[in-house]
Amino acid sequence: MIEESKAVVITSRADMGNKPSSHYEAVEDENTVFISKENDVFRIPALFYDRDRNILMAFSEKRKTSDDASAVALVMKTGTVNKDETTHRVTVKWSELKLVKEAHIKGYRPMNPCPLYEKNSKTLFLFFICVEGTVSELYQICCNRNKARLCYITTKDAGQSWSGVTDLTDKLDEIKSWATFAVGPGHGIQTEGGRLIVPVYGYASCSPSCCCCIKFYCCSPYALYLYSDDQGKSWQFSSRIQKVSLECEMAEVSDDTGLNSIYCNARSQGGHRVEALDKNDGAGFIILPPTDKLVETGTGCQGSVVSFPAQSEDTHADRDPSQNPNKWLLFTHPSNKSKRTDLGVYLNKIPSKSNAWSKPWIINKGPSAYSDLAYIDDGWFACLMERGEISEIEQIACKVFSYQEVKRGIGE
C-alpha cells in the first residue's frame, strides 16, 4: 500500500515519445492471469497453492487507475495444475475472473490480499485491509489518522463461496497506536506446529511536533506479524523488527539442529533488504547482517519469499529429499538497483546467513514489480508477478519453474 499516489500513464510501444496513450501494450499469452486496460488496472498479486485440489488461487486488486486510492475490489482466478510425467513439464489452466465481492466494507476500499491456509480445518483465510474512501497512506501518516481496518473472509471450497467479513481492528490494541498499517501483501503461512502467521507492517504514531507532510517518514515503519495458535479463533501481534522495515513476507525455516525459526524479508528505505529471524524464544526478531546480494530497488519494492524442503544435490542418488529436515529459501524481487525491472529468483540454502544468497536468475527481463511465490511440491514453484513491455503494471502473469531450472539459472 506504499506506492506513489500519482497515476501512471501506460503508453504503447508506438507512442513512446511525448504522446500518452490509453492503449496497453502487454501481450497476453498462456502465462497471463490478469491483464490491465484503460479504467481497469490489476495490481498487488497474491498466490496460494491448494494441495488437496491441485489448484493455484491467484488474487489481485482491481483498480480504476494505477493509483492506490482508486482500488475498488479484490478479484481472483483459480488455475488447474497439470504435471506431465512424459515431458516433465507443469502447466496451469486458468479460470475466468471472479469478483470477491464479500471482501468489502461499505465506504471502504479493499487492498493488499493475503491468503493463509489452516490445514486442520481446511479453511482458507483471505486477509486484507479496508481503507476509508480514497484516503491515501501518505495522508494517514502525515496527519497521524489511521483510516485502515484489518479484515478477513474465509472459504472451505476454494473460493466458490466466502464467509462474511470479520473485522479485527477494534480487538487489537496495538492498532490504536499506529498512524496506519497494512498486511503483506502476498501470502501468509502456517507453521509445522500449527501457528497461523500473517505478515504486517505498521507506522508508529508521529509526535505532534512531527505532524507535517515535509517529513514523510517521521512515523517510523516496522514489520511484524499477526498470529493465531487456535486455528484462527483469536489473534495477537508478535514483537516488531527493531529496524525501519515495510512490506514483508514470512517463511518457516529449519537447520541441522532441528530448530525452527520464522524468517522475515522486508522492504526497506535503504539499498538492501531487511532480513530477520524470530526463534520463538521470547527474544523477538534478530536482525541479520545486511548483504549487497539482496539489493533494494530505488525507493523500494515488495518482494516474496517461500521456504521449501532441502533438495538432493545428487541427481543420481536414490535418496528421498524429505529425509533432510532442513528448509531452504527462495526469494523474488526486481534485481535492478535503481528501477523496477528484471525480476530475479534468489536461492539460500542457509537461511540464518544473509551472505548465503545466490546471484539472481532473471525470470522476467524488463519491467517487473510485485510478486508472490508458492511451492507446489516435488521441487516445483509458481511465481505470480507484475510485468509488462513498457510498464510493470500492464499485467499479472504466472511462471511455473523447477528447482533444477533455478540451479541452472543461478549458475550452479
Active site residues: 68, 370, 386
* Grid cell locating 34: 490478469
Question: Residue 200: enclosing H or E segment and its boundaries?
Answer: strand 196-204
d(CA 154, CA 157): 9
Question: Residue 409: enclosing H or E segment and its boundaries?
Answer: helix 403-410
Task: Please name which of 186, 192, 269 lies closest in space to residue 225, comparing C-alpha atoms.
Answer: 186
Task: Please name which of 196, 169, 177, 182 lies closest in space to residue 246, comparing C-alpha atoms.
Answer: 182
Task: Please name which of 90, 59, 2 lies closest in space to residue 382, comparing C-alpha atoms.
Answer: 90
* Grid cell locating 317: 542418488
- Sheet with strand 274-278: strands edge to edge: 248-254, 260-266, 274-278, 285-287
Q: Give the total residue count for the chain.
A: 412
φ, ψ for residue 408, nearest 5 deg: -65, -40
Beta bridge partners of 215: none
Question: Residue 398: enclosing H or E segment and its boundaries?
Answer: strand 395-402
